[in-house]
């Protein structure tokens, strides 16, 4: 049988014809020639992506928030397996689209159709699914250029898994304290708005009550009339911080201060260090240059102060300095002191990525220990606060009852 094909050879797009017994044999023959097959036809038409349609403008805008990172990670894992099995790029994306759901399925299908129409894979993905992130799109572009797409998708999955692990550790550590705080606020609201007013109705003249009892009654009145500020206040504070972080310069100051906050600042530092070192190790392993890797990493870091330091390191590397000297001249030397030492050793031995991975794993373990410590500290602190509230209510109540009995006697 005669098959037409589109593919990549030496970073250039090529097309032509090949004779083989079936589509799989045609793809194998192309790989023997050093051609990475993108589309081989006529091939058995798969059912992947059947019934899908292009997204409209609103659906494209919503995709950024409606597609979970976990589903993207799973799709990239499937693409890696399919491409390693000599499935052509277009067929792999159509198959992954058939396995995915919602906007992700549509985005994968749109990517396949754009590649079938002659677009490069990186360009098609950037147009159909930009929310995947510049870091992963950069890896895909490198894999497309050097014919190592399956390995690049593996690297993308590794990066996503590392980020997910860090995020899950932080969420897991904060879940229990958040539940206790919410339950405490609920009990406090019920006591202030229901129980205390009923008690106050039988206490008579408030002026004859002890000061602690009067303060309890005043607190109850405030909660009934202004208690919404207990929820609205923190929400407005968080929103104000989020808006201030968008102001040029202010976000840098806030993020820098956040890294210095006692107890909690180390969580941000350890998370930033782990993410920086692990990501840089994977990018260097994939064949991306140090300069380009630093540029990609800078776009993925949430902390503005870290982004500033990475940009400074990149500028030093562009000026001809080794990576270790760039780190030593920036605040990363203080934030991530192990990085400079192991990067210098890696530059000497040629195992730079391995040294960075060791540093990233060290800080990931340090983050887990810090979160465990915070959990152990937050729990007794919450017990003390809730216990103090309960003690305050009981003491005020019994002192008020004692004052009433004394007045009656």
Q: What is the DSSP string of 22-40?
A: SHHHHHHHHHHTT-EEEEE
Helix axes 102-116, 57-66, angle to 10 degrees: 120
pTM above 0.85, yes or no: no
pLDDT above 60 (res 44): no
Q: What is the pLDDT, as a whole number, of residue 408?
A: 64
Q: Is residue 48 part of a domain?
A: no
166, 330, 335 from 255: Cα distances, Å: 19, 16, 13
- Residue 168 and residue 93 share a domain: no
Domain limits at 30?
A: 2-41
What does DSSP assign to residue 247? S
Token pair 């400079």: residue? 340
Tens digit of each residue's pLDDT (9 = 90 or more) over 250-304: 888 888 888 888 878 888 888 888 888 888 888 888 888 889 889 888 878 888 8
Q: Is residue 51 part of a domain?
A: no
Judge contact between 269 and 302, C-beta under 8 A. Answer: no
Q: Phi and psi (nearest 5°) for 209?
A: -85, 160
Q: How far apart are the first and last CA of the chain?
A: 110
Strands 12-19, 36-41: pairing is unpaired
- Among the candidates 99, 132, 165, a domain finishes at 132
Greater model confidence, 132 or 21: 132
Tens digit of each residue's pLDDT (9 = 90 or more) over 343-389: 888 888 878 888 888 888 898 888 888 888 887 787 788 778 878 87
Q: How many Å apart are CA 93 and CA 100, to the nearest integer?
A: 10
Residues 6+ apart with CB under 8 A from 191: 393
Give me the number of domains the chain comprises: 3
- Residue 120 and residue 21 share a domain: no
Residues 6+ apart with CB under 8 A from 334: none
- Among the candidates 75, 98, 132, a domain finishes at 132
Q: Phi and psi (nearest 5°) for 396?
A: -60, -40
- Residue 313 and residue 203 share a domain: yes
- Residue 205 and residue 232 share a domain: yes
Tens digit of each residue's pLDDT (9 = 90 or more) over 124-161: 999 999 998 888 888 888 888 877 888 889 988 888 88
Q: Is residue 50 part of a domain?
A: no
Within 191-228, where are the H helices?
A: 196-200, 211-226
Q: What is the pLDDT, as a whole number, of residue 187?
A: 76
Q: Is residue 47 part of a domain?
A: no
């Amino acid at each position: 049988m005669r098959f037409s094909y589109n593919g990549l050879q030496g970073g250039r797009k090529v097309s032509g014809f090949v004779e083989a017994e079936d589509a799989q044999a045609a793809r194998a023959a192309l790989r023997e020639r050093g051609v990475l097959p993108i589309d081989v036809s006529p091939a058995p038409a798969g059912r992947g992506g059947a019934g899908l349609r292009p997204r409209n403008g609103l659906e494209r805008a919503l995709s950024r928030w409606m597609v979970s990172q976990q589903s993207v990670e799973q799709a990239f894992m499937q693409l890696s397996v399919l491409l390693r099995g000599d499935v052509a790029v277009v067929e792999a994306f159509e198959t992954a689209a058939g396995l995915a759901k919602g906007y992700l399925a549509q985005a994968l299908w749109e990517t396949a159709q754009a590649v079938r129409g002659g677009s490069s894979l990186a360009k098609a993905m950037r147009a159909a699914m930009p929310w995947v992130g510049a870091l992963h799109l950069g890896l895909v572009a490198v894999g497309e250029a050097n014919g190592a797409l399956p390995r690049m998708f593996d690297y993308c999955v590794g990066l996503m898994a590392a980020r997910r692990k860090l995020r899950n550790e932080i969420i897991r550590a904060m879940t229990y304290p958040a539940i206790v705080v919410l339950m405490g606020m609920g009990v406090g609201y019920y006591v202030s708005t229901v129980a205390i007013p009923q008690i106050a109705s039988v206490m008579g003249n408030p002026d004859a009550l002890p000061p602690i009892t009067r303060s309890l009654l005043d607190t109850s009145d405030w909660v009934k009339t202004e208690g919404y500020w207990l929820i609205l206040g923190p929400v407005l504070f968080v929103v104000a911080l989020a808006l201030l972080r968008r102001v040029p310069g202010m976000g840098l100051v806030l993020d820098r201060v956040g890294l210095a906050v006692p107890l909690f600042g180390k969580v941000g530092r350890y998370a930033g260090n782990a993410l920086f070192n692990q990501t840089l190790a994977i990018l260097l392993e994939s064949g991306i240059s140090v300069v380009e890797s630093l540029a990609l990493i800078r776009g993925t870091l949430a902390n503005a102060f870290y982004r500033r330091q990475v940009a400074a390191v990149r500028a030093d590397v562009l000026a001809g300095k080794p990576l270790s000297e760039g780190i030593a001249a920036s605040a990363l030397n203080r934030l991530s002191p192990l990085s400079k030492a192991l990067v210098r050793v890696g530059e000497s031995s040629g195992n730079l990525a391995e040294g960075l991975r060791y540093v990233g794993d060290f800080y990931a373990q340090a983050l887990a220990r810090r979160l465990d410590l915070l959990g152990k500290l937050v729990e007794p602190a919450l017990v003390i606060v809730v216990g103090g509230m309960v003690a305050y209510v009981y003491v005020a109540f019994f002192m008020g009852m004692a004052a009433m009995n004394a007045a009656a006697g």
